[in-house]
Amino acid sequence: MLIEFHKMQALGNDFVIIEHSCSSTTRRLFEKEFLVNISHRLYGVGCDQVVVFYRENCFIHAFFFNNDGSEAEICGNASRCLGKLMRDFYGMSQFALVAAERDYAVQVNHDSTVSVNMGRPTFKDSAIGFSKKVEDPLNLNPKNDLGLGPDTLHDVKVLRAAGVSVGNPHLAVFVEEIPQFQVVAEVGNLLSTNKLFENRVNVSFVKVLATDLLEQSSFERGTGPTLACGSGACASGFLARACGFTSGSEITVQQRGGTLLVAFNEDESITQTGTASYVFSGRIEL
Question: Could you tell me the domains of the chain?
Answer: 2-119+274-285 (3.10.310.10), 125-268 (3.10.310.10)
- Is 75 an annotated catalytic residue? yes
pTM of the complete model: 0.96
The catalytic position among 47, 81, 229, 234 is 229
CB distance 286 to 11 below 8 Å? no
- pLDDT in the model for residue 218: 98
- pLDDT in the model for residue 47: 98
Helix (H) or strand (E) segment spanning residue 193: none
| CA–CA gap between residue 253 and residue 37 (Å, rounded) | 32
- pLDDT in the model for residue 23: 60
| CA–CA gap between residue 149 and residue 141 (Å, rounded) | 11
Low-confidence ranges of the chain (pLDDT < 50): none
- Is 234 an annotated catalytic residue? no
CB distance 72 to 64 below 8 Å? yes
Helices (H), the chain: 32-39, 76-90, 125-128, 150-153, 181-192, 230-242
- pLDDT in the model for residue 56: 92
The catalytic position among 22, 47, 58, 75 is 75
| CA–CA gap between residue 172 and residue 180 (Å, rounded) | 16
